[in-house]
Structure 1
Amino acid sequence: MNYALAAGSFLNSPIGIILIYVVIIGGFWFILMRPQKKEQKRLAAMIADMEVGDTVLTTSGFYGVVIDLTDDDVIVEFGSNKNCRIPMQKAAIAQVEKANQD
């Protein structure tokens, strides 16, 4: 039996072409989309564990300390000036460092 002829006829059939596209799209999903979903889950868990007193880094690059939390918002205190308190969405938090539990 001529296997090259059998493989060539399979690749020329509509089912073979669809199967190749499915394999290519599946490969791209594992390479591109899956790591992004993992990072989104990690960030959501980090924000859910955020507490008052934690140091945060905002998406704009500012470091501050969390002084109040609500369901969707957080109030962050910036710098040594205790009057600089800015409310922002939790989605604007890029990184959380837990307060020392000494």
Structure 2
Amino acid sequence: MARKASGKKIRPSSRDASKGVIRKHQKIRTKIKVEQANKESFLISELNKREHTNKRAPALESLKVMDLIEDRKKDKSMQKKIEEQKQSTNKNIVEQLEMISGFSL
């Protein structure tokens, strides 16, 4: 005759833990930690690769800086020219107003 189960859940005894039994949730947690560590190490390796490729770029960056300096000089000279044109226009307007005011019928 088959015996029916009593309905009690079987708890793992403390003896199982001392014997080194690994539970399922511990395996899952460990697996997740390992995957995260692998992702982090992958990201670090990517950063190292980027860092090595960026070491060649300073020459290009310095060229850009020189271009910016030249552009700034050009901008200053253009601003001076514009200011001179404004001043000459103002002088011409003043002269014309003086001529108009001096002219009478």
TM-score, normalised with respect to structure 2: 0.33
Structure 1 or 2, whichever has the larger Rg, is 2
More helix by share: 2
Higher strand proportion, which one?
1
Q: Which is bigger in relative contact order (C-alpha 8 A, separation at least 6)?
A: 1
Structure-1-length-normalised TM-score: 0.34
